Structure 1
Amino acid sequence: MKRIAIIVGTVYGGAEFLAGQAEQLLTERGYQCALHLDPKLDAVLAEDPDVWLVISSTTGQGDIPDNALPFYLDARDRFPLLTDKIVAVIGLGDSSYQHFCGAGKQFAELLQELQGKPLADPLYIDACETLEPETVALPWLEAHFPPLG
């Protein structure tokens, strides 16, 4: 579990900022990270990462952000089996909306269908409770990605 693809779905930049913080933390812990702000399935598959980490906000009625939607649809349609991959999802949302963390939930469901091995239950961060998602996400990442020796 050394190579991590960080797949980002962002609308206003919050998920992108968090992904940058995650990349910095994980790199400091010895992991090789590739940040995908405009994710393409072929690029992620070519990297052959050990871990697929999705960090995504939600837009509209629980929709996947425009920058990550082609990646999601391509993965859903081409169905690359991830049986030897670890998968993790951090979803950003607002519980005052009906489809709280809808994009994160869609990604979590897809990665499960692709037979990825969940690192942990998805982490869903509520903007109504947490103004700075990194205060929740970074400790979660620290707990699940120990420093490499």
Structure 2
Amino acid sequence: MERAVILVGTETGTAEDVADDLLEAITGAGMEAEILDMEEARSDAFDGSRAVVICTATTGDGELPENSIDLFEVLEDEKPDLSGVVFGVCALGDDHYEDFCQAGKDWSALLQELGAKEIIDRFEIDGFPEDEDIDGAKEWVGQAAGKFTGLVREG
């Protein structure tokens, strides 16, 4: 069975709520999946044995949520080879700010720089997620699950 981990970067819990909906959709698409707070994650979450879905809010002026900074910095510093990793990013932001969804863009850029393959375009949610945003995110992660199939090595 294909496996995935949803890594959540959040300040207020909104990204965590979205991640719960993503989990429901990705398991409904036939993948085994779990949610992991980025504060509790280590770089081995990117070992290639499961697809990675980043679900992150953007805070302040385009900054990473506090709970995700350590993991991001570890990856920046250690520069592990992530060439066997496939991922997708669901980014939350507010388009009233110049750096709309910047945390999601930063995760995309870092993971690609380390060799990971972003197999689906980033899904962006503007403002507090409405029902249509959640429906779109579920459809997006369902499409991602289809693309993950066969790309995740057996763990």
Query: TM-score per shorter chain, which class?
Result: 0.7 to 0.9
Look up the match of 2:87.
87
Long gaps (5+) in structure 2: 150-155
Instruction: State the identity as a percent.
Output: 29
Aligned length: 146
In 2, Cα distance between equivalents of 1:45 and 1:121: 19
In 1, Cα distance between equivalents of 2:56 and 2:93: 9
**Could you say what secondary structure the match of 2:66 adopts?**
coil
**Could you say what secondary structure the match of 2:95 adopts?**
coil
The amino acid across from 2:101 in the alignment is: C
**Could you say what secondary structure the match of 1:81 adopts?**
coil
Look up the match of 2:120.
120
Q: Is the 8 A contact 1:39 1:68 kept in 2?
A: no
Look up the match of 1:40.
41
In 2, Cα distance between equivalents of 1:67 and 1:109: 19
Cα drift, residue 138 of structure 1: 0.7
Map 1:127-142 onto structure 2 (within 5 A). 127=127, 131-132=130-131, 133-142=133-142
| Residues 83 and 43 (structure 1), Cα distance of their counterparts in 2 relative to 1, 3 Å cut | closer
Cα drift, residue 50 of structure 1: 2.5
Q: Is the 8 A contact 2:6 2:36 kept in 1?
A: yes
Q: Is the 8 A contact 2:46 2:52 kept in 1?
A: no
Q: TM-score, normalised by structure 1?
A: 0.87
Look up the match of 2:152.
none
Q: Is the 8 A contact 2:43 2:71 kept in 1?
A: no
Cα drift, residue 42 of structure 1: 4.0
Cα drift, residue 90 of structure 1: 0.8
Look up the match of 1:17.
17
Cα drift, residue 21 of structure 1: 1.1
> Alignment RMSD, CA only?
2.1
Matched, 1:106 2:111: no
The amino acid across from 1:44 in the alignment is: A
Look up the match of 2:69.
69
1:76-119 per-position Cα deviation (integer Å, ceiling 9, x unaligned): 11112111111111111110011100100100100110111111
Q: Is the 8 A contact 2:88 2:144 kept in 1?
A: no
Q: Is the 8 A contact 2:46 2:85 kept in 1?
A: no
Which 4+ runs in 1 deviate beyond 6 A? none
Look up the match of 1:27.
27
